[in-house]
Amino acid sequence: MKKIFPILLLIIVVCIVSYNSLFTVKQGTNVIITQWGRPIKTIEEAGLYTKMPWQKINTFDSKINCYEAQTLQLLLKDKNPVIVTCYIAWKLDNSELFFQSLNNVENAKLKLGDMVNSQLGIIVSDYEIDKIINTVPENVKLTEIYERLKNEANTRTMSKYGIEIVQVGLKRIIYPSVVSNAVYQRMKAERTKEAVKYTAEGEEEATKIRATTDREVKELLAKAYKESEEIKGEGDKEALRIYAEAYSEDPEFFKFVKSLQVYSQIMDKNTTLVLSTDSELFEYLNSKELTGGKK
């Protein structure tokens, strides 16, 4: 037992030392090893590592963190107030600088919130209400505001705190009643203006369509009339040709038929004519062949 006891004691001591000396770094985390409060080593790769038993491990999340800043009221360029809540997506850029300046995540959130809100108040004071909310998407400048805010904040957070701001934006925008009414009236006026514009464009297009249709109708009627006159002319031409052939075959018969046509056109059962017997109209009615040789 006297020989076994020292061995067991040694094993226990080794286990305790090993327990306090071995540690793992998980994926997505950074570790800073401190000795007596001073950082001596930064580990960013996942794996198994060793340290001295008296040294301390400080673990930080290296993934993107999202934080919602405190809600505050801001004044726009046109003196309209808005109540906004800003969100901040951030991650560690320099773990050692972050540890030395802020020490922990809670302090980082407070610093980020104050800094971004302060900078946001300065930036939005350059914009009027119609650049924040507008029915015309290209007039809204929120993306421009977010980009300016991120760039301005990053110039301070990266060099001072070792933090990179990945994205910032407005999670919530609330307008006081006086602003809401003004926004509503402006939106109503813009929609009315758009409606008048579209109505005018529609009427203009309708007028063009009617004019085009009327022109096409006139062109079709003119073309049809022209074709009908051409057909009529061809018919008259053919009739004249037939008449000419008939006349050349028997001029006397042709003259007789034409006279009968004239009789049928000028006389009916109610017609009374008083004409001389020498009239050409009675040439065939007064003919010996028709009267049996009597005049």
Residue 251 lies in a domain: no
Residue 162 lies in a domain: yes
Residue 19, pLDDT score: 59
Give the domain-ending residue among 15, 40, 61: 61
In the chain, the number of structural domains is 3
Q: Mean per-residue pLDDT for 151-158? A: 90
Residue 215 lies in a domain: no
For 269, the token pair is 């059962």
- Residue 158: is its pLDDT beyond 70? yes
When pLDDT is cut at 50, 70 and 90, the band that residue 99 belongs to is confident
Residue 190, pLDDT score: 75
Give the domain-ending residue among 118, 140, 175: 175
For the chain, counts of helices (H) and of strands (E): 7, 9
Do 32 and 76 share a domain, yes or no? no
CATH number of 129's domain: 3.30.479.30
Do 72 and 54 share a domain, yes or no? no
Average the pLDDT over each of 34-38, 197-201, 261-265 and give the range with the smallest value: 261-265
Do 83 and 21 share a domain, yes or no? no
Cross-strand bridge partners of residue 276: none
Would strands 72-75 and 38-43 be described as parallel, antiparallel, or unpaired? Answer: unpaired
Which residues constitute the domain of residue 38? 4-61
Residue 281 lies in a domain: yes
Order of strands, edge to edge, in the sheet holding 38-43?
38-43, 29-35, 56-61
Residue 270 lies in a domain: yes
Residue 40, pLDDT score: 79
Q: What is the pLDDT of residues 209-253, one digit of tens each?
A: 999 898 999 999 999 988 888 898 888 888 878 777 777 776 776
- Residue 139: is its pLDDT beyond 80? yes
When pLDDT is cut at 50, 70 and 90, the band that residue 98 belongs to is confident
